[in-house]
């Protein structure tokens, strides 16, 4: 499992990279692995506002359609348009291929996000639950 220590994570398998008042968000390596081949993403447009935990888009693979959940509250300032045409890039490198950039409206929420080690524990728990 590839879980860069420099990022923060959510239980819904999202990652966040904070750069000043902006945050790049995407889905984790574990998530792309579980989804399998990603064939479609639907992203919000710049200007759309989301609260932490709210669904901001959908991602579709040959196996599943999932909502994407916002790790932090904010306003979309950019969508990764390239992914609309080439969604398989998320499989290739889920951390390089961010989905949207938000301007954070409540930076205090960062404290609620998981560190890499805590997120890995969440993934392990899920796998164990599956095996049981």
Binding residues (CB under 8 A) for another protein: these are 12-13, 31, 34-35, 37, 39-40, 42, 60-67, 84-86
Phi (first) and psi of residue 103, to 5 degrees: -95, 120
* Minimum gap (Å) between residue 54 Cβ and another protein: 15
Q: Is 29 helix (H, G, I), strand (E, B) or coil?
A: helix
Alpha-carbon gap, residue 90 to 113, rounded angstroms: 22
* Minimum gap (Å) between residue 64 Cβ and another protein: 4
Alpha-carbon gap, residue 125 to 1, rounded angstroms: 14
Q: Do the bridges between strand 55-61 and strand 22-27 make them parallel or antiparallel, or are there none, so unpaired?
A: unpaired
Q: Which is nearer to another protein, 40 or 51 (CB)?
A: 40
* Minimum gap (Å) between residue 119 Cβ and another protein: 13
Q: Which is nearer to another protein, 49 or 60 (CB)?
A: 60
């Amino acid at each position: 499992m590839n879980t860069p220590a420099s990022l923060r994570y959510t239980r819904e398998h999202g990652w966040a990279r904070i750069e000043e008042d902006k945050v790049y968000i995407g889905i984790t390596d574990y998530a792309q692995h579980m989804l399998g081949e990603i064939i479609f993403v639907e992203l919000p447009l710049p200007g759309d506002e989301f609260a932490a935990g709210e669904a901001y888009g959908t991602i579709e693979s040959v196996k599943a359609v999932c909502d994407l959940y916002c790790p932090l509250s904010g306003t979309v300032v950019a969508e990764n348009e390239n992914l609309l045409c080439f969604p398989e890039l998320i499989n290739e490198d889920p951390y390089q291929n961010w989905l949207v950039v938000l301007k954070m409206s409540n930076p205090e929420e960062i404290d609620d996000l998981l560190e890499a080690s805590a997120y890995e524990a969440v993934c392990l728990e899920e796998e164990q639950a599956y095996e049981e």
